Amino acid sequence: MSVLPLVFTSGWASGVNAYAVVLLLGVFGATGVTDEVPDALQRPDVLIVAGVLFLCEAVADKIPYVDSVWDAVHTVIRPVSGAVVGALLAGQSGSLPDLAAGAIGGSTALTSHLVKAGTRMAVNTSPEPFSNIALSTAEDLGVAGIISFAIFHPVAAAVIAGTLLVLGVVILVFLWSRIRRFRRRRAQRREEKRLAAAREPGPPE
């Protein structure tokens, strides 16, 4: 039970940036900052791969529409990563508590991933690219901050992660309702223009 707050927080963060979570936890474990990180996440090859993929995501996540394609590809990767990290943090015995921790990490990662992907699709309706860059940077800093905080204050970090998850769902619902109304109004205006053009008399012969 003592590791569940860290599992929940890492699950939330994995849904936003799974590679950053693996990289940060691995570095914290390898440098002796914490003993909670399993050896599997501290392996040099794992850290190198996570670092390279993190850099790839840092670039792709800031380009409009490319970020949505990247999110679509990671619909499976992020929840699986959250589940694996959660199970590893709980232990590697394959017991029921370990499996439960994996389920918590995976389901939390899936929820936060859907919030992230949906929000990005909404932001991509904006004609300028700066919103994507600002949002991506805020996400990267948020993941780094909350994972670092969770190492020393796991319960408080889990409360913050839970609050952010709920707020994200609420904001996503609000954004999508506005986007649907905007698209309906735009489709209606196009239809009105089409009908008006059809009623106009043609040039005299």
Q: What is the pLDDT of residue 182?
A: 62
> What's the pLDDT tens digit per position in 91-119?
754 566 777 888 899 999 999 999 998 88
pLDDT interval class at 54 (50, 70, 90) = very high
Please tell me the predicted confidence (pLDDT) of residue 17: 94
Cα distances (angstroms) measured from residue 74 to each of 97, 111, 182, 193: 26, 13, 28, 40
Q: What percent of the chain has pLDDT over 90?
A: 51
Contact 109, 14 (CB under 8 A): yes
Per the CB < 8 A criterion, the answer to whether 113 and 16 are in contact is: yes
Mean pLDDT, residues 157-163 = 94
Q: What is the 3-state secondary structure (H, E, C) of the chain?
A: CCCHHHHHHHHHHHHHHHHHHHHHHHHHHHCCCCCCCCHHHCCHHHHHHHHHHHHHHHHHCCCCCHHHHHHHHHHHHHHHHHHHHHHHHHCCCCCHHHHHHHHHHHHHHHHHHHHHHHHHHHHCCCCCCHHHHHHHHHHHHHHHHHHHHHHHCHHHHHHHHHHHHHHHHHHHHHHHHHHHHHHHHHHHHHHHHHHHHHHCCCCCC
Give me the pLDDT at residue 205, please: 54
Q: Give tens-digit pLDDT for 6-46.
A: 999 999 999 999 999 999 999 999 999 888 888 899 999 99
* Across 95-99, 142-146, 174-178, least confident range: 95-99
Mean pLDDT for the stretch of residues 166-174: 88
Q: What is the dihedral of CA 184, 190, 194, 195, to 10 degrees?
A: 40
Confidence class of residue 204 from pLDDT cuts 50, 70 and 90? low
Q: What is the mean pLDDT of residues 54-79?
A: 91
Contact 186, 52 (CB under 8 A): no
